[in-house]
Amino acid sequence: MTSLLEKRDLILENERRFADLLGREVLATPKMNIWMILIPFILIYHIYQARRVADGRKVFIRNYLRSRERALEEGLRFVEKGTAPVIETMPDGSDLPEPARKPFREFIIFLTGHYKDLLRSDGTDMESLIRSTYKNRMNYLLFLQRLNQAEKALNEALRPHITGAGVDEVLETMETVSQRLRREYASAVFA
């Protein structure tokens, strides 16, 4: 039987893989052309740009995982000790703009419930934990749809408070790619 800490590690590794896949599509590495090799200055610039994207991807993954890691720890604490999750003290939510706090709270509560269910289920890998928890593909797809809706509500609440060029495109890409990757994963889990 898989221990709670092993299940936590499986869940966290699965979230990391997803964040990496998402980061690769949201922050795509610039393509190299053959003529770049012939002009050293352009090759150096391309390498610099590729490194910036790789560094940006690491920051993206770290930020993407922060609230998920906290929700997972709260879920683990609940399963181990039976104590209710402490959403209010999460450092991620306190610095959010007021309109985003309620969607963030709902997102974290939703994730914590999902992680609690996974931690209570039987399985030796992530796929078997999901199958044990959701029983069939339709139930898992319904969960994923609700997760996508919670993320979208949070993004919508944050959108007016995020500055920078291309924010709308990045958020839209994140939402679209997340939905596609999750559907593909659900198909693989319940093949």
Q: Is the pLDDT of residue 44 over 70?
A: yes
Per-residue CA distances from 25 to 8, 83, 95, 127 (Å): 26, 38, 28, 23
Q: Is the pLDDT of residue 92 over 90?
A: no
151-166 in b/e form (b: 16+ CB < 10 A) is bbbbbebbeeeeeeee
For the chain, how far is it from start to end, CA to CA, in angstroms? 24
pLDDT-derived band at 32 (thresholds 50, 70, 90) equals confident
What is the rounded average pLDDT of the residues 107-130? 95
Q: Is the pLDDT of residue 136 over 70?
A: yes
pLDDT value of position 144: 97
Interval 2-30: pLDDT, tens: 899 999 999 999 999 999 999 999 887 77
pLDDT value of position 94: 62
Percent over 90 (pLDDT), the chain: 65
pLDDT-derived band at 50 (thresholds 50, 70, 90) equals confident
Which helix (H) or strand (E) segment is 73 a member of? helix 40-81
pLDDT-derived band at 87 (thresholds 50, 70, 90) equals low
